[in-house]
A and B are shown apart, each in its own frame.
Chain A
Amino acid sequence: MMTRSLIVQRISRWLAPFIFIYGLQVILYGHLSPGGGFPGGVILASAFILILISRGKEEAGRRLPLSRAGRFDNTGALVFLAVGLLGFVLGGSFLANFLQRLFPGRPFSLLSSGTIPVNNLAIGLKIWGGIFLAVLFLSVLRVGGDPDRGLKTMEEE
C-alpha cells in the first residue's frame, strides 16, 4: 500500500462533511432556491468521491458500502415512480402533483409545493448512490490490473 499525503488526508477528512451538508441543503431547498435532486445528489456523491480519491477505496467502501449505494439507487428510482403512480391514482394523471392540491402549503416555506420536495429527495438519493457506484467501479477497474495506479500518478504530480 502506498502512502498518501497527510495534508491531503486531513483536509479531505475535514472537508467531506461540509460538502455533504451542502449537498443536503441543495436537495432540501431545491424548490425554493437554485438546486434540486440532480446537482444535490452529485454533490453528496462528490463528498464520498473525495474520500475515495484522498483515502482510498477501502475507506470509501467502509463509509458507503457498495450494497447500500445500490439500495440508494434503487430506492430513489422506485420512490420517484411510486409518486408518479400515486399521482395517477389520486391526481388523475401520471406524475400529477396531488400533494399540492390536497395540502397547499405556504409558498416560499420549506413544506410547500407538494410532491416536488419528495421527488427531489428521491432523485438526490438515486444520483448519490448511482454516481458513487459508477466512480467506485471505474476506480477499481484499471487496465493492467493495478487498481491503485491512477491514484499513484495523481500523487506524484
Chain B
Amino acid sequence: MTVLLLSLLLFMIIAAVIALYTEELISAVIAAGAVGFGSSAVFLLLRAPDLAITQIVVEVIALVLLIRTTLHLSGRGVGEGPSGPRVRAAGLFCLAVLVSVLFALPRLPRFGEPVMDRIAAAPSGFYLERGLELTGSANLVTAILLDFRAYDTLGEATIIFTAVLGALTLLSRKCLTSCPAGREEEGER
C-alpha cells in the first residue's frame, strides 16, 4: 500500500517536472494530465472515491480542452476521421456506465435509511450527537462546513479565489487589446 502510494507520488513528481521542462506544448499538456490521473489514483487508494471521481472527470475535460487548444494554437488542428470508431467508443462508454450503475445501485443505502444506522462509527452520527455541544452552531450543516471540515471550506474558497484571479488575468488582457469598453474599466483600477 505504502509502496504503491510512494511510487505513484514519484510518478506524479516526475510527470510534473517533465511538464515544466519539456519543449513541446502538447507533451507538457499530456504530462500535466498524467499528474492529474496519478492524484486521482492516489485518492482512490486513500479511500476517497468521491474525490477520485471528481478529479478524473475534471481531469478528462481539462485534458480534452487543453489538447484541442494546443493543437489549434500550433495550427495542426484536430482531424475529423471516420465516425465509426467514435460511435463505437461512445457506445462502449455508455455500456460501461450502465453496467457499473447496475452493480452500484443495489449497494446504495435506501432512502430514509441513514448510513449511521448501519455503521455505528460513521462520522455523521457523531456530528449529529455532539455538533451543537462542540461548536454551538444550531445549523449543523454550517457546523460541519466551518468547524469540523473547515479545511475543506478553505480549499473551496481558494479554488474560487484562484478561478476569479485567472479569469480576470485572461479577460483583462483580452479586453485591453480588443474591446473598447474594457479600457475605461481598466482605467478605474
A residues neighboring B (CB under 8 Å): 30-38, 57, 61, 65-67, 70, 73, 76-77, 80-81, 84, 94-95, 97, 100, 104-105, 107-108, 112-116, 119-120, 123, 126-127, 130-131, 133-134, 136-138, 140-142, 145-148
Contacts and interface: CB of A to CB of B under 8 A. Distances in A.
B160 A126 contact: yes
- The interface size bin for chain B is 35 or more
B189 to A, nearest CB: 5
Contacts of A146: 179
25 contacts: A34-B141, A37-B146, A66-B189, A77-B158, A80-B157, A95-B154, A100-B134, A105-B136, A114-B136, A115-B146, A119-B153, A126-B160, A126-B161, A130-B160, A130-B164, A133-B168, A134-B163, A137-B172, A140-B171, A141-B175, A141-B179, A141-B182, A145-B179, A145-B180, A147-B179
B130 interface: no
Contacts of A140: 171, 175, 179, 181-182, 185
A80 B172 contact: no
**Interface class of chain B by DSSP:** helix
B157 A30 contact: no
Main DSSP-derived SS at the A contact region: helix
A134 B164 contact: yes
Contact of B136 (A73, A80, A112, A123): A112
A36 B138 contact: no
Nearest to B149: A95
With most chain B CB atoms within 10 A of its CB, the pick from A66, A84, A105 is: A66
A120 B146 CA distance: 8
Interface in B146-173: 146-147, 150-151, 153-154, 156-158, 160-161, 163-164, 167-168, 171-172
A137 B168 contact: yes
Given A134-B168, A138-B167, 6 more contacts: A31-B146, A77-B161, A116-B142, A116-B146, A130-B161, A138-B171
Contacts of B163: 134
Given A77-B161, A94-B151, A120-B142, A141 B171 contact: yes
